[in-house]
Chain A
């Protein structure tokens, strides 16, 4: 069965960077786009961007441009999201997701990774 398993919670200081991983299993990793979504405590969902694991092509939300980088390691079916210049406003749960019926219908989700940015 399809699974997306994310790395564990992170605590970072303001100005630091973080890399969150999303390990895929149960399907051909290069066949589906991986999307990242975040959610601050008590807040709504915010789309961060997507990466095509086959080509490595990416697209990021404008609000994250210059701070986010999405990469992948095909050999271990893992996608990564790196976010730099962290501020307290980046404190949130970060989810990776994959579409099923179309690339925008996020059917499979990782369990989420809590990032806490605090001094």
Chain B
């Protein structure tokens, strides 16, 4: 059971904007950076966003991250068919799970209709 909660699914038509939320607490998102990963079926995760809102080189600017308090969001604008994948948020947690635990969110499956 992850301490970072995401909606199980999200969808949109090509060109639309989709937003994925990631809800945490003061022991994780509220006090550390948030990271976002994209995972296509059968492949390793790909880093999309680091340090809340920074995009690695090569990641389209259609992907953007934000954080406010104990929640974070990933927005995908101009949705494309190749964006159909699972998306995971992640952050360090210093709560009940013990110090220094890197936690992933529950994951959101994005479907392009």
Contacts and interface: CB of A to CB of B under 8 A. Distances in A.
A45 B56 contact: no
B100 A105 contact: no
A95 B43 CA distance: 10
Interface residues of B, number: 26
A104 B50 CA distance: 8
A61 B97 CA distance: 8
Give the residue among B37, B54, B88 with the most A Cβ atoms within 10 A.
Answer: B37
Interface size class of A (residues with CB under 8 A): 20 to 34
Interface in B1-57: 2, 33, 35, 37, 39, 44-47, 50-51, 54, 56
Nearest to A6: B44
15 contacts: A44-B106, A44-B107, A45-B45, A45-B88, A46-B104, A47-B102, A62-B101, A100-B47, A101-B54, A102-B33, A104-B90, A105-B47, A105-B50, A106-B45, A109-B45
Given A35-B102, A104-B90, 8 more contacts: A37-B104, A44-B107, A47-B104, A63-B97, A101-B50, A104-B92, A107-B56, A110-B44
